[in-house]
Amino acid sequence: MNFDFVDVTKFKTLIESKLQIWIEEAIKLLPNLVMAFITILLFSLIARYAAKLARNILKNIVDSAEVINLLTSILRVIIFIAGLFIALDFMSLKGTVTSLLAGAGIVGLAIGFAFQDMTENLISGITMSIKKPFKIGDIIEAEGVFGNVKAIKLRNTLVETFSGQLKIIPNKILFRNILTNYSSTHKRRIELDVGISYADDPQQASDVIVNALNNCDFVIDKSETAAFAKEFGASSVNLIVWFWIDFPGNKGFMQARHDAVINIKKALEKEDILIPFPIRTLDFGIKGGESLRHSLPQNSANTTS
C-alpha cells in the first residue's frame, strides 16, 4: 500500500507566514492595547474617587448607610463599564460593545420582571431615603403600625411599637400609602371629651378647663388651648378639649393626657361644676303624656298610695 508523504517544508512555510501575519497585527494593535489598558486604569481611579466624593455628599442627604453603599457602588460600576466600553472601542471591537449593551438590556429587563416586588421595595427605599418622609427615631403610623423607627433598610423599615414588638414594613407600603409622622412638627395635639351637667354653664366650664390646662408646664402654644361645647349628651353637655404638647418631649403623650385629665377634674370640682354619672329620667307627663299614677294598673296605683 502506497502512502503519499506530506511535504513538511510546505507546512513549515505556511505556519511561519501565519505567525508573521499575527505578529504584525499584534504590533499594529500594540498602541491600541496600551491605550485600552491606560483607559481602564484611568476609569478605575476615577470610579474610586467619584464614589468617595459621592459618599461624602450623600452622608448629608441620605440617612441609610445601606442606601449610600448601594448608590456609590452603582456609580463605580457605571463609570468602570463606561471605561471598559471605551477601551473596547480603542481595540476596534465596536461589535462586541453593541452585543454587550444589548445583552445587558435583556438581562436587566428579565431581572426586573423576575424580581418586580423586590425591585419596587428597593426603589421605594432609595426614594424615601432621599426625600426623607421620616428618619430614624421618628414616631410614625402606617397601615395599622404605630411606633418608633429603628432602622431604614433598602427593602424594608423596622418599626418598634409601643408594646415592644418589632414590625418589618416593606418600603413600597410606606411609599404608596398614607403615612403619619408625629415627629415632623415636633408637637402633637391631645383631644379630650369632657361632660358637664345640664345645670352648669358650658362657657364657665370652658374657661375653667382652659385656665387649668394653661397652668400645666407641659402645655405649649397656650393661645391655642380650647374647650368647645360639642353636643347634648344623654346625661351631660359634652365639650371637646384640645391642647398642644412637645412631641416627643420630656412629658410623654400618655403622661401628659393623664395629668390633663386629673387637672381638669380638680379644677371643675373646685368651681363646683359637676361631671355627672349617666342618668336616666322617666317622665310620663311631658307634652300630653300620662303621669306615672295613671300609667300603672289601678291595683298598683292603690298599693303605691
39 close to 90: Cβ distance less than 8 angstroms: yes
* Strands annotated E in the chain: 139-142, 145-152, 156-161, 166-170, 180-181, 187-196, 219-220, 226-232, 237-246
Question: Considering its fold, how many domains does the chain have in total?
Answer: 3
194-220 burial, b for 16+ CB within 10 Å, e for fewer? bbbeeebebeebbebbbebbeebebbb
pTM of structure: 0.55
265 lies in a domain? yes
Domain boundary among 181, 209, 237: 181
List the pLDDT tens digit at each of the 305 positions of the chain. Answer: 444 555 567 666 777 676 767 676 666 666 777 787 888 888 888 888 888 888 888 777 776 676 777 778 888 888 888 888 787 777 766 666 666 666 666 666 666 665 566 777 777 877 777 777 888 888 898 888 899 988 888 788 899 998 888 999 888 888 888 888 888 888 889 999 999 999 999 999 999 999 999 999 999 999 999 999 999 988 899 999 999 998 877 788 889 999 999 999 999 999 999 988 876 666 665 555 555 555 556 554 454 44
Per-residue pLDDT at 250: 78
Domain boundary among 68, 83, 114: 114
144 closest CA partner among 120, 169, 171, 176:
169
298 lies in a domain? no
Do 26 and 43 lie in a common domain?
yes
78 lies in a domain? yes
Grid cell locating 233:
349628651
CA-derived radius of gyration, the chain: 40
Do 177 and 215 lie in a common domain?
no
Q: Is the dihedral of CA 246, 247, 252, 253 positive or negative?
A: positive
Print the domain residue range for 72.
10-114
231 lies in a domain? yes
128 lies in a domain? no
Do 57 and 106 lie in a common domain?
yes
Cβ of 283: how many Cβ atoms within 10 Å? 9
Omega into 276 within 30° of 0, i.e. cis?
no
278 lies in a domain? no
Query: Which CATH number fits the domain that encloses residue 142?
Result: 2.30.30.60
Do 108 and 19 lie in a common domain?
yes
200 close to 269: Cβ distance less than 8 angstroms: no
Query: Which CATH number fits the domain that encloses residue 219?
Result: 3.30.70.100
